[in-house]
Amino acid sequence: MKSFIRFVAAISFITSVTASPTPPFNPHWKRQNNTDSSQNSSSSSGNTGGVNCPAGFRNAVFNTDAPSQPNWPGRFDVLQENGVANWIGFTVNPVSETATYGNPPSSAALDNNQIKIVMNPNDIPNGIDLIQSANPPAYLEIFNEPDFSYADATPLTSPQDAASAIVPLLKAWDASNGGKTTLISPAVAFTGSSWLPDFFSSCESLYPGCSDKFPIISGHIYKASASDAIAMIQGLSNSFPGKDLWLTELAPSSSPNAGSTQSGGEGSCTMPTPGTPDAPGVVQWMQEVLTFCAGSGYVKKVFWNTGEWSGDFGATCNPSLTNNDGSSSATAVLEAYNSFCA
């Protein structure tokens, strides 16, 4: 991941506002401060694990530098062949129509299995067009990390402003979508903060019934300690009992140099990269966290970050699902991901 993995999320909105070049970003680099079968895809091939997972449980993140790597868009084929159902990127548009991704070539598999995001309030008109279209998406996430601004380059939105901005989309959803699109809550960077509760409180006051329109709560989880990550997930669920959770970014660390002194409190991830002689590291973290998630009854999807190769992590804490050369061979992390579910 480059120093933009986390940053990818919020900045992608620029694609709908301007064609000006923007630096790549990857949400894995974020906090320097601080099948489903209904979605067109099913996991595939070679699973040997024994854990019973929800349908479409394993998914991935593609950050904005992914198309610049070899074998694009074939990298998603590699993921699908190893049990990955869907992918999420930082755009409300197809990736081929997104400037921050470089308007790269796409494929039917990539387009049909994308979870789209209304990145921030500037993207609301595009979101309305999408849910009113002839082929509305099965799912649509509303706002990416409104509680965090990477290097002051991505918009920071208050819960009250976010609630006000979303009302036109909710009205359009009520008027014309007919429940074809399931809305996903804003994906917060800091799951223990009051941002989401404050958002729903404001939204209810402006548009009664708002909370019921979001059956899925989204959050981003990065903790070097598996037990701490699990505690964060439990805390998010406790704040929204009865709601399903999607962890739309998940990994031990959001950047190679994330440390315990940052306000996000991730902790320094020093686990060796899988494939090195003393590795269980990231794989063990994955297995512990996913075992909890799959058995929780409320975590329905996880999106491992990253689907591309994140070479900046080097020999420590590398979460890459695909290789640097884009080959069809799985990384040790992807092998573990594939074998996790029965």
Tell me what pLDDT residue 255 has. 75
**pLDDT confidence bin for 204, thresholds 50/70/90:** very high
- The string of pLDDT tens digits covering residues 52-93 is 999 999 999 999 999 999 999 999 999 999 999 999 999 999
- Is the pLDDT reported for residue 44 higher than 60? no
Say if residue 259's pLDDT is above 90. no
Residues 195-211 have a mean pLDDT of: 98
For 187-200, the pLDDT digits (tens) are 999 999 999 999 99
β 87-88/114-118 pair status: parallel
Q: What is the pTM of this model?
A: 0.86
Pairing of strands 299-304, 139-142: unpaired
Q: Read off the pLDDT of each residue in 308-334 and give the average, rounded to a whole number.
A: 89
Supply the pLDDT for residue 112: 97
With beta carbons less than 8 A apart as the criterion, state whether 247 and 302 touch.
Answer: yes
Nearest C-alpha neighbor of 64 from the set 99, 18, 111: 99
The long-range contacts involving 275-283, CB below 8 angstroms and separated by at least 24 positions, are 275/331, 275/332, 276/315, 279/332, 281/317, 282/252, 282/317, 282/318, 282/319, 282/333, 283/332, 283/333, 283/336
Question: The tokens 């070539």 sit on which residue?
Answer: 105
> Which of 183, 168, 21, 41 has its CA nearest to residue 101?
21
Backbone angles phi, psi at 329, to 5 degrees: -75, 140
What is the H or E stretch that residue 294 is in? helix 281-296
In the structure encoding, which two tokens stand for residue 122, read together? 């500037």
How does DSSP assign 161-222, residue by residue?
A: HHHHHHHHHHHHIIIIITT-SEEE--BBS-TTSSHHHHHHHHHHHHSTTTGGG--EEEEEEE
pLDDT score for 338: 96
Distance between CA atoms of residues 100 and 9, nearest Å: 10
Top-confidence range, 8-17, 157-166, 268-277: 157-166
- The mean pLDDT value of the chain amounts to 84
Whether residue 293 has pLDDT greater than 80: yes
24 and 64 Cβ atoms separated by less than 8 Å = yes
Locate 20 and state its tokens.
């000006």
Residue 246 pLDDT > 70, yes or no?
yes
**Which of 6-15, 153-162, 172-181 shows the lowest per-residue confidence on average (mean pLDDT)?**
6-15
Residue 3 pLDDT > 90? no
Is residue 29 over pLDDT 90?
A: no
Q: What is the pLDDT of residue 301?
A: 98
Query: pLDDT at position 297, please?
Result: 97
Burial class (CB within 10 angstroms; exposed 0-12, middle 13-18, buried 19+) of 198? middle
Query: Using 50, 70 and 90 to split pLDDT, how confident is the model at 43?
Result: very low
Two structure tokens written together for 317: 């804490």
Structural Rg of the chain based on CA atoms: 18
